[in-house]
Amino acid sequence: VSATRGDADPGSFLQLATYEKGSYSPGAGLPRRALWYFVNESVFRSGYFPLSSLKRYLLRLFGASIGTNVVIKPHVNIKLPWRLAVGDDCWIGEEVWIDNLDQVTIGANSCISQGAYFCTGSHDPRQRTFPLITRPILIGNGVWIGARAVVLGGVTVEDNAVVGAGATVTKNVPGNHLVVGGPVRDLGDIRPVGL
Ligand SMILES: CC(C)(COP(=O)(O)OP(=O)(O)OC[C@H]1O[C@@H](n2cnc3c(N)ncnc32)[C@H](O)[C@@H]1OP(=O)(O)O)[C@@H](O)C(=O)NCCC(=O)NCCS
């Protein structure tokens, strides 16, 4: 392990100066994104505005599809509202982070508990350019995502499934099933020899 500060770094596999976004586009121009950044920080993340009605209104204004009676607790972080659809009577708990570079769709009557993280973005760590990969997340109707669960891009959680607290969901969850856990697995050395 080595750490350098400000020096050239010929030893790193990743070369972030060559980072590739590929075909990714945020789906809105800079003024709209800047305005949403301010609204997200001040109204959604701050906790000063506990009322869901204002948040439903603002999300719709910025292009989200939001059903009736959706509850949005304080300290929620939403990346791109125009890539969010939430069905009727859903609950979004404190500190839920919807990192929706790609579409996130949540069905009706679903409960997303505190601190859940919807992670639509990833990178290919086998390439030095660290290319961005984005994939959508689909949560069905009547689903419960437990506190601090992580749901990765490309995952569908089918109707009436439950994801236990702290789970890491990398694959689709069948309807009505309960899934828990998420121990890390060492998948071996992914770097070329000598790096
Ligand atoms: C998913 C959940 C409801 C399961 O409850 P349950 O069906 O009563 O399950 P049990 O407590 O009987 O546990 C069954 C087994 O699963 C394991 N388990 C339960 N929840 C787990 C979790 N979140 N992560 C890992 N393992 C879990 C238990 O250790 C037990 O293992 P064992 O069979 O080896 O003893 C619950 O554990 C959970 O995660 N709740 C979420 C809490 C939450 O998010 N609250 C926020 C809103 S208030």
Residue numbers annotated as active site: 123
Which atom from ligand 1 is nearest to the alpha carbon of 149? 44
Cβ(162) – ligand 1 distance below 6 Å: yes
Supply the pLDDT for residue 80.
Answer: 98
Segment (H or E) for 176 = none
Half-sphere exposure of 46 (CA within 13 A, CB side): 12
Q: Which residues of the chain have pLDDT under 50?
A: none
Residue with the smallest CA separation from ligand 1 atom 14 is 180
Q: In what order do the strands lie in the sheet with 137-139?
A: 65-66, 84-86, 104-106, 137-139, 156-157
pLDDT at 188: 78
With CA atoms as reference, report the closest residue to 79 among 26, 4, 21: 26
Give me the helices (H) in the chain, please: 30-39, 52-61
With a 6 Å cutoff on the Cβ, whether 115 touches ligand 1 is no
Provide the whole-model pTM: 0.93
Say if ligand 1 is within 6 A of residue 121 CB.
no
Q: Which atom of ligand 1 is nearest to the CA of 181?
A: 25
In this prediction, residue 1 carries a pLDDT of 57
Summarised one tens digit per residue, pLDDT across range 55-104 is 999 999 999 999 999 999 999 999 999 999 999 999 999 999 999 999 99
Residue nearest to atom 15 of ligand 1 (CA): 180
Q: Which atom from ligand 1 is nearest to the alpha carbon of 114?
A: 46
Q: Is the CB of 94 under 6 A from ligand 1?
A: no
